[in-house]
Each structure stands twice: as structure tokens, then as C-alpha cells.
Amino acid sequence: MTLKGPLGKKPPPAKPSYLDSKAIPAALEDLFPPNTVVELAKKSGYLKRKRIFDPYYMLWALVLGFGITLERTLVGAKRQYDEITDTELSYSTWYEKFTPELVKFLRSCVALGLSKTAQEVNRPLGEKLKRFEDVVIQDSTVVRLHKALAKKWPATRSRKIAAGVKVATLISAVANGIRTVAIYGERTGEVKTISIGKWIKDRVILFDLGFFKYQLFARIVDNGGFFVSRLKNNADPMIESSLKVHRGRAIDLGGKRWSDVKDLLMREVLDAEVSMAFKRRKYKGKITGDTLNLRLVAIYNTDDKRYHVYITNIPQEVLSAEDVAALYSVRWEIELVFKELKSRYALDLVKTTNEHIAEGLIWTAILTMIVSRRMYNLLRSAVPKDKLHRYTPLLFSIVFVETSHILRDVMTDYFRACPERDRMLDKLAWLWEIQAISPHVNRKRLSDKLEA
């Protein structure tokens, strides 16, 4: 990358203003401790005996050689490995490393990285949400694969032979990144990609309509969690009472179905207690009926000229109807995560016919994002609070990719204790600070509504 100052002058010295540059390699080593990574390689069966090949360098060669750099090929990843280790593997030896055991190893590295980031509070929740432990968002994106893999991973609703997988992701507002991730066949239903348990207690989860299922909502309630979802078109809850007092001759909605009143509403906001009858999952051969008492929020959108309708179990005294709608709008953040994975970290460039390489590269893209978010959160922790909103994950991801060659050299020289390491680290931190800041001084992100 070439930096130019005004009128062709040289840029100022590459010295960071906020970030302690020495924290960069320390954070990377803390995220993936070398000894722990080697142990994971042994447990997965990937490392049988350590000779000239090192799984720790393999991890970074894939992240820096495929997940980041513009030359997203296995040859490019091999070149990164050779440069980091100052060795030269034969091509046959390199390709032999892409095995089912490598997939298990990379998957365990993802689990390690997520377990580390899940413990961090990178974005404290604001005053209105402080009653909750976290706000999480669940969704999935489809990754198209080579048609040769259609037998293992058949695509959905395809007129020709095609293959694809579904990458199901749960992101955390507090950790400011991915909380859990799993790979499923594309034909797997959305509700089967999430498991609700005790972990949901005191957390809010945001869903799209693909997850709309009463049994799922009931499990969240039973485990002490909260949710917000759009209301499905064919859902018809019974309105028990209005939770918002309206002036004038407002009609009494109690005892009426949603379908009976939705076309008659004249108010901008409807906030009501509703009940939904549903059947529990079969237990000991029996299916029992039950009722969910929830809250329906309808906000009239003047642009769409229709109501946006949500269903939730968050009490009115915790969040107003308008706050519920604003909270749900933050669900767009997961779409930005998928955009980052595909446009920056090569999630959509998995074109190999080898199933082990295909799955390994998907995990590599996720690992790359974990590393990127760790560096982004490190930068955020140093930036003054009044500038935080100008450092966005998507903009940082662009700079992260463009400065990856420096990061690679830092990793290489870090292990060799190169005298130039400190200067290179300062330059890397300085580039992140000056190039990852948005020029839009007053523009706020949706997620800014969450923060303290």
C-alpha cells in the first residue's frame, strides 16, 4: 500500500497515537497460544510427529495466505508458509496436508478462538439494555461449492446439479463478533441450526422469519431468555389487552384476532399482550397443547406505508414499543458479518472439488474473521470514546486485508526477534488508526444503539 500526503509530501512518521503496537503480537499469541494449537493438532490426529512441518505456522499460513491475501489459492498459502518458516515444502507434501484431520484441527482452532473472544466485553450494553447479559443474532448464509460436491452437499431448489453448505452463525453484541458457528447442508432448515439451552438465560436473541416457530420461542422462555422476531404473515395471535393507552375513541382490541384488526388500525403504534396456542414437541409418545403469552408490537412505517410487526417476550417496562423495533433493526449487523466473510475473507471463493479442502477453507475464512475482529477490538479498546463510532468493522476489514503483508512480516520477525519488529509494529498500528477511521464524523451505526 502506498500512502501519499498532500502535494506529494511524505506521510508523517509511522507512530501510532492510541494503540500500543506491542499489544498486537501479544494479542495474537493470546488468541492462539502456540503450545495449545500444537496440542489441538495432536488431539485431532493432524500432527502425528513433529518434524519439518509445524501446525502453528500452518494455521497462520492459511489465515494470511488464503483468508486475507488477494492471491487466494493453495499455492499462495504454501508461499506464505514457506516465507513464515523460511523453508520450502514440496508441492506434493503441501497438498498431502489437506486431510479430514486438518478439517478437525481447523474446527478446533475456531472453537478455541471463539472461546477466547466470548470471554471479552468489547462493547458494553447501554442503559436500556443493561438488564440483559448480551444481545445475540442468529442467521445463516449459503456458500456455493463446486458441483462435483453435490452428492455430499446438494443445493436447495436448483434446476441443475449444484452444491452448497449453510454456515449458521450466532454473533454477540458484547463480544463484538462471532459467538458460535457451524456448517450444515444447504437443505437443513433454519430452526435446526440453533440449539437453545441454559446459555440463553438473561440474553436477547434476534431472529428473522426463517426461525419463526412457537416451540423455539417456548424453549427460550422456559430457559429464562428473551427474543424479538418479526411476526409471520400467517400467524394470527389472540389479542388479550392493549399495553398502550390511546387517546380518543380507540377501539377495544381485547378478545380479537390480529387478522381482525390489522387492517382497521389507525394508530401509529400498537403494543399489546397476545396469546398463541401451539403444540409442544412429542414427549414420551404424547403431544400436548400449550399457550404462549407474549407481546405484539406494531409500528407504522411511513416509507413502506404498512405496519412492521414484531413478537417478543421483553416486558414493556424494560423496552418501549419503539425500543423493540430499534433493537430488531440491529439484526442487520449479521448481514454485515456475512458480507465481511465473503468479500474480505474468501468465504465465497471455495471452488475446489476436494471436500476436505472445501470445508477446510470455509473454516479458514472464519478463522480469519476471528483474527480480524480480535485486532479490531484491540484498536477499539485504545481509541478515544468520542471517535469509536468512526471505526467500523467493515472499514477495518478493508485496511486489515490491505496491511496483511505487514502482519505476515510481523509474525515472521516476531518469532525470530528481528530488530526491525518494533518499527514494523508501529507502522501497522499507525496504518490501522489513520486508514480505518471513517470520514463521516457524525454518522452513527445501527449497533451504536446498543452501546453504553
Measure CA 210 to chain center.
18
Range of 44's domain?
21-117+351-449
310 and 268 in a common domain: yes
Q: What's the pLDDT score for residue 413?
A: 66
Contact yes or no for 28/371 (Cβ under 8 A) = yes
Q: What's the pLDDT score for residue 450?
A: 60
Q: Is residue 159 part of a domain?
A: no
Q: Is residue 279 part of a domain?
A: yes
Strand partners, 274: 239, 294
Residue 255 has pLDDT above 90, yes or no: no
CA angle 71, 74, 78 (to 5 degrees): 95
- Cell 453448505 identifies what position? 165
Q: What's the pLDDT score for residue 121?
A: 77
Residue 349 has pLDDT above 70, yes or no: yes
Instruction: Report the amino acid identity of residue 304.
Output: D
310 and 246 in a common domain: yes
Residue 366 has pLDDT above 90, yes or no: yes
SS3 for 315? coil
**Highest mean pLDDT: which of 6-15, 156-165, 337-346?**
337-346
Q: What's the pLDDT score for residue 13?
A: 59
Number of domains the chain is built from: 2
User: What's the helix, strand, coil split of the chain in %, to 5?
Assistant: 45, 20, 35
389 and 310 in a common domain: no
**What pLDDT band is residue 7 in, cutting at 50, 70 and 90?**
very low
pTM: 0.88
Rg (CA), the chain: 25
Work out the average pLDDT over 203-226. 94
Q: What's the pLDDT score for residue 5?
A: 42
Cα–Cα dist 291/294, whole Å: 10
Summarised one tens digit per residue, pLDDT across range 128-184 is 898 999 999 999 999 999 899 999 999 887 678 889 999 999 999 888 889 999 999
311 and 393 in a common domain: no
Summarised one tens digit per residue, pLDDT across range 11-42 is 555 778 899 999 999 999 999 999 999 999 99
436 and 378 in a common domain: yes
Q: What's the pLDDT score for residue 263?
A: 82
Q: What's the pLDDT score for residue 61?
A: 84
SS3 for 281? coil
Residue 288 has pLDDT above 80, yes or no: no
Q: Is residue 163 part of a domain?
A: no
H or E stretch covering 332: helix 332-344
SS3 for 421? helix
Summarised one tens digit per residue, pLDDT across range 265-284 is 877 888 999 999 888 776 66
**What pLDDT band is residue 97 in, cutting at 50, 70 and 90?**
confident
Q: Is residue 408 part of a domain?
A: yes
Reading the block at residue 73, the C-alpha cell is 489459492
Cα–Cα dist 134/123, whole Å: 10
81: CB partners within 8 A, 6+ apart: 57, 58, 61, 65, 87, 89, 94
User: What percent of the chain shows pLDDT beyond 90?
Assistant: 49
Measure CA 443 to chain center.
22
Q: Is residue 60 part of a domain?
A: yes
Q: How far from each other are the two terminal CA atoms of the chain, in whole angstroms?
A: 35
| 81-95, 100-114, 175-189, 332-346, range with the lowest pLDDT | 81-95
Better-scored residue on pLDDT, 148 or 413: 148
Q: What's the pLDDT score for residue 172?
A: 92
Residue 357 has pLDDT above 80, yes or no: yes
Better-scored residue on pLDDT, 65 or 46: 46
Number of Cβ atoms within 10 Å of the Cβ of 150: 16
281 and 361 in a common domain: no
| 14-18, 219-223, 327-331, 404-408, range with the lowest pLDDT | 14-18
Residue 194 has pLDDT above 70, yes or no: yes
Residue 337 has pLDDT above 70, yes or no: yes
422 and 376 in a common domain: yes
Count of all residues that appear for the chain in the document: 452
312 and 363 in a common domain: no
105 and 28 in a common domain: yes
Q: Is residue 208 part of a domain?
A: no
Cα–Cα dist 156/128, whole Å: 41
Q: Residue 354's closest CA among 74, 47, 9?
A: 74
Cα–Cα dist 15/18, whole Å: 9
Cα–Cα dist 448/269, whole Å: 24
Cα–Cα dist 228/219, whole Å: 14
Summarised one tens digit per residue, pLDDT across range 48-78 is 765 667 889 889 888 887 766 555 677 777 8
Adjacency order of strands within the sheet including 256-257: 177-185, 163-172, 134-145, 203-207, 226-230, 306-312, 289-301, 269-279, 238-242, 256-257
112 and 27 in a common domain: yes
30 and 85 in a common domain: yes
Q: Is residue 65 part of a domain?
A: yes
Q: What's the pLDDT score for residue 2?
A: 44
Helix axes 355-382, 421-435, angle to 10 degrees: 80
Q: Is residue 147 part of a domain?
A: no
